[in-house]
Structure 1
Amino acid sequence: MVQIVNTEQAEAWNGYEGQHWADNHERYESMNGGFNDRLLDAARIGERDRVLDIGCGNGLTTRLAARRARLGEAVGVDLSVPMLTRARGIAAEEGVENVRFEQGDVQVYPFPEGGFDAAISRFAVMFFADPVAAFGNVARALRPGGHLAFVSMADLGGTDLGTILAAAAEHLPGWQAASEPDRPDPERSGSDRSGPLSLADPDHVRTVLTAAGFQDVTTELVEAEASWGRDAADAAEFFTEWGPVRFNLGGADPGPLREALESALRPFERADAVRLRWNSWLVRAAR
């Protein structure tokens, strides 16, 4: 039986949210994939390494890590059954054999102690229910001197994506735009303040990782460009179907939101797509 303590996230990623990401995996990769190379380079993956991908989702970063560790192995762990199913299917289609995917909660998953040389994560570690405990479990899973590298969302104020999220916030009851890093995530409640911006403060990141058993922690603000759709109308339609947006609409008519988004997105239309630039923190550490 899979042990899960992060029950709210498990519910979301095994419901609409996870299925939407699985069904639209290529589109989500076009939105987040600009950080892939920086992440993998930071992890210093060798050809014989054993790599852990934390919150692997649909498995692209796991497969990319497996290709770098061609004589080793990459293991992706995630809460979401729909996304893991997609990840296994794509790996089989692409013939990536040195990769496997497991359902689990990283905070309590029984990793072999010292079983990995490197651990990576792209926009997943922000959702840990107890980040010190979860990163501590990752530290135990790494060999002494093993590398951790992840990207987490930064304050989006002043970025293209921040502009779009601010436009959306005006039409979503209870929504706090990602340009407001001091606010808890609107989908979370109580003492659990995990969410997209929970690791947006570099000082807090260093405190958490040090408490979890890491050293040599560095943070670097990096920028990437994301494709959000064919044109403003297409991008606005997709945005209104995104899980957090549906949650905060609360059954309200999405029409006004869609119109506001289309207007906000139009200045970012290019010949081939709507393209938005945004920032994230690239974090490195060692066990």
Structure 2
Amino acid sequence: MGSVVNVRQSEAWNGYEGNHWADHQDRYDAVNDAFNEPLLAAAAVGERDTVLDVGCGNGRVTRLAARLARHGHATGLDLSAPMLARARASADAEGVANVTFERGDAQVHPLPSGRFDVATSRFGIMFFADPVAAFANIGRALRPGGRLAMLSLRNLDDQDLGRVLAAMTPHLPRRPATTEPGGPGPESLADPVRVHEVLTAAGFENVAATPVDAPQTWGADTEDAAAFLGAWGPVRFMLGQVDQESASRALDALTEAMRPFERAGAVRLRGAAWLITATRP
């Protein structure tokens, strides 16, 4: 692994957060898999393409891209050792041979210049300490004319998850998952104007941010979904900031807020994202 400048994120994704995602790979894929089709359609991966999947986590999109690039190759890049271990194990189990996974900070990782035809990411781009530097580094790794297709969350208020998390706020210091102004976090690229500014400053052109909605399956029933969401890193962190009684009330409020979304054997929330596309000149 090369240098790391995003130290706090590295600590999180190699600690509880990364382990929770690795241990619950199938559940997090159930949350995010409905976004795969629009992402990969925008990426337009060809059978001989080389693909860079940024913030690849457990490697779901990396493996899907590798299948599309059946005569090419896909590389997954992430800070998280436990998630990369899961990604490699899944690729072996699925027989996906044209894929590799590298541990590194996308902001400074020594990516080979002009190596890749397309860069993808499924919600792995909201955590950069310096997003302009990170996207510039990614851009250098693309060939001239190379494509970028990535997903970032829209504002939590634009999606059902925001409504669910808002139910907890009377019992917590602030709403979980809120991004500090200018800092890395789930909502750091929720403003399409900022997305355009960041990618343009990083050297990209033809920048576009298209809204995409998709169902996210959080659990089999209300109690199951609430327990899983309550163990998600940002929620768990906020619960740890209050006394046990307040945390219990917050979890009760979370559970009741999820109940209206239970139907047909699952709890599904409407997720809202920006599908970000751009090209390297």
TM-score (norm 2): 0.95
Question: Within 5 A, what are the aligned runs for 1:88-99?
Answer: 88-99=88-99
Partner of 1:188: none
User: Structure 1 residue 250: deviation in Å?
Assistant: 1.9
User: Structure 1 residue 261: deviation in Å?
Assistant: 1.2
Q: 1:263 to 1:59 in 2, by over 3 A?
A: same
Bigger Cα displacement from structure 2, 24-33 vs 159-168:
159-168
Secondary structure of the residue that 1:96 maps to in structure 2?
coil
CA distance in structure 2 between the partners assigned to 1:101 and 1:228 by the alignment: 27
Tell me, yes or no, if structure 1 residue 250 matches structure 2 residue 240. yes
Secondary structure of the residue that 1:143 maps to in structure 2?
strand
* Contact 1:226 1:276 (C-alpha < 8 Å) held by counterparts: yes
User: Structure 1 residue 177: deviation in Å?
Assistant: 6.0
CA distance in structure 2 between the partners assigned to 1:115 and 1:59 by the alignment: 20
**Two-structure CA RMSD over aligned residues (Å):** 1.4
Corresponding residue to 2:225 among 208, 223, 235:
235
User: Structure 1 residue 156: deviation in Å?
Assistant: 2.7
User: Structure 1 residue 176: deviation in Å?
Assistant: 5.1
Tell me, yes or no, if structure 1 residue 259 matches structure 2 residue 259. no
Corresponding residue to 2:180 among 179, 184, 191:
184
Q: 1:115 to 1:268 in 2, by over 3 A?
A: same
CA distance in structure 1 between the partners assigned to 2:177 and 2:240 by the alignment: 16
Q: Which amino acid aligns with 1:260?
A: A
User: Structure 1 residue 158: deviation in Å?
Assistant: 4.7
* Contact 1:106 1:134 (C-alpha < 8 Å) held by counterparts: yes
Question: Within 5 A, what are the aligned runs for 1:1-287?
Answer: 1-175=1-175, 184=180, 193-250=183-240, 252-253=243-244, 254-287=247-280
* Contact 1:167 1:260 (C-alpha < 8 Å) held by counterparts: yes
- Equivalent pairs: percent with the same residue? 58
CA distance in structure 1 between the partners assigned to 2:165 and 2:145 by the alignment: 39
Q: Which amino acid aligns with 1:223?
A: D
User: Structure 1 residue 203: deviation in Å?
Assistant: 1.1
User: Structure 1 residue 67: deviation in Å?
Assistant: 0.5
Q: Which amino acid aligns with 2:132?
A: V
CA distance in structure 2 between the partners assigned to 1:89 and 1:176 by the alignment: 32
TM-score (norm 1): 0.93
Secondary structure of the residue that 1:112 maps to in structure 2?
coil
User: Structure 1 residue 49: deviation in Å?
Assistant: 0.2
Paired positions, count: 277
Q: Which amino acid aligns with 1:224?
A: A
Secondary structure of the residue that 2:119 maps to in structure 1?
strand
CA distance in structure 2 between the partners assigned to 1:65 and 1:158 by the alignment: 29
User: Structure 1 residue 64: deviation in Å?
Assistant: 0.3
* Contact 1:171 1:257 (C-alpha < 8 Å) held by counterparts: yes
CA distance in structure 2 between the partners assigned to 1:170 and 1:106 by the alignment: 37
CA distance in structure 2 between the partners assigned to 1:276 and 1:184 by the alignment: 24
CA distance in structure 1 between the partners assigned to 2:65 and 2:170 by the alignment: 40
Secondary structure of the residue that 1:285 maps to in structure 2?
strand
CA distance in structure 2 between the partners assigned to 1:195 and 1:177 by the alignment: 7
User: Structure 1 residue 174: deviation in Å?
Assistant: 3.6
User: Structure 1 residue 170: deviation in Å?
Assistant: 2.8
CA distance in structure 2 between the partners assigned to 1:35 and 1:198 by the alignment: 19
Unaligned regions of 5+ residues in structure 2, if any?
A: none
